[in-house]
């Protein structure tokens, strides 16, 4: 069974640029959630996708957007990057919308300069 994978591992971008982060869910999982973890903090929920539809969103501006594909992999897009967007971005997958167990990938470390 393959776990959650994310790419890239690290990324450095300049303020104002756009970035796309990618996530492959664990085998058999159709629900993907994205979280932002600032240094020394707990992860903060960005949004969740279930079967290609957004299924809940946290307190993040519209420049944070996402997609889920038919194979249940997912992308997180962030436009107009700001310095405060520097964080570890985590993807978590689960078996279904009604299943609580969420399994996290290793994350993508984004640095905005």
Binding-site ranges for other proteins (CB under 8 A): 4, 6, 31, 33, 35, 40-45, 48, 55-56, 58, 90, 92, 94, 96-107, 109
Nearer to other proteins, 7 or 17 (CB): 7
Of the two residues 16 and 56, which places its CB atom closer to other proteins in the complex? Answer: 56
Q: Which residues contact 64 (CB under 8 A, 6 or more apart)?
A: 46, 47, 76, 77, 78
Compute the least distance from the CB of residue 104 to other proteins, in Å: 4
Residue carrying the six token digits 């949004």: 47
CB 74 within 8 A of CB 67: yes
Q: How many CA atoms lie within 13 A of 62 on its CB side?
A: 0
Residue 75 C-beta: closest distance to other proteins, Å: 17
- Residue 81, classed as helix, strand or coil, is coil
Nearest-approach distance from CB 16 to other proteins, in angstroms: 27
Q: Which is nearer to other proteins, 1 or 100 (CB)?
A: 100
């Amino acid at each position: 069974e393959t776990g959650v994978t994310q790419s890239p591992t690290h990324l450095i971008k300049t303020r104002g640029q756009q970035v796309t982060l990618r996530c492959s869910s664990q085998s058999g999982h159709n629900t993907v959630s994205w979280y932002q973890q600032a240094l020394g903090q707990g992860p903060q929920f960005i949004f969740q996708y279930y079967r290609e539809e957004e299924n809940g969103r946290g307190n993040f501006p519209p420049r944070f957007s996402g997609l889920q594909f038919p194979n249940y992999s997912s992308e997180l897009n962030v436009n107009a990057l700001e310095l405060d967007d520097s964080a570890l971005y985590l993807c978590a997958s689960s078996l279904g919308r009604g299943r609580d167990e969420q399994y996290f990938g290793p994350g993508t470390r984004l640095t905005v300069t």
